[in-house]
Amino acid sequence: MPLTMDRAGAGVRCAVYQSQSLPNIYVVVPAQIDPRAIAAIARSYGPFTKQKEIEIAPGSQLIGASADEVLRNIHLVGYHIQGVEIRAHVSEVASAVAGGLLGAAIGAGPLGAIVGAALGAVLAAQNNKKGSQS
C-alpha cells in the first residue's frame, strides 16, 4: 500500500491497535485500512483492540517510536509493529529503609534493622543491575 500524505508533509492518519494477548505489542496502520489486514496481522500477535487514531508526520515526536520508522514500515509493508518495554527501577535507599523497618518490626532489634537495611539495598542494586543488562 503506497504511503500518501493528507497534505504536503502534513502526515498520515493512523490507527493504533493493542494486542489483547501480548499487551506490550502495538500495531500502527493507516486509519483507512481494510479490517481484513488487521485480521491477518492478528494471526501472529493475537486479536487487537483499537486504542486511538493519530496523525503521524515525518519527524514528529512519538512516545516510544520513531515517526520516520513508523511511516517507512507502513510504506514498505502496510503496518508497523511496536513493542513496548517496561522496566522497573527499584530505589536502593527506599529498599534499605523498608528492610530496616521490616527488621525492626519483626523484633530483631537494632542489629536486625541494620541487616534488613543492608539486604534491602543489596537486593535493589542486584535487581537494577539485572534490569540494565537486558
- Confirm whether 29 is domain-assigned: yes
Q: How many domains does the chain have?
A: 2
- Confirm whether 5 is domain-assigned: no
Residue numbers of the domain that contains 73: 12-83
| 33/46 Cα distance (integer angstroms) | 18
CB atoms within 10 A of CB 92: 17
Please name the residue that has the C-alpha cell 528492610. 99
The DSSP-derived string for 74-100 is HHHHS-EEEE--------HHHHHHHHH
Among 5, 1, 15, 2, which Cα is nearest to 58's? 5
Contact 85, 63 (CB under 8 A): no
pTM (predicted TM-score): 0.57
| CATH code of 67's domain | 3.10.510.20
> What pLDDT, in 10s, does the model give residues 44-87?
778 888 999 999 999 988 877 889 999 998 888 888 888 866 55
- Confirm whether 6 is domain-assigned: no
> What pLDDT, in 10s, does the model give residues 94-104?
555 555 555 56
Interior angle at CA 102, CA 97 and CA 106, nearest 5: 155
- Confirm whether 1 is domain-assigned: no
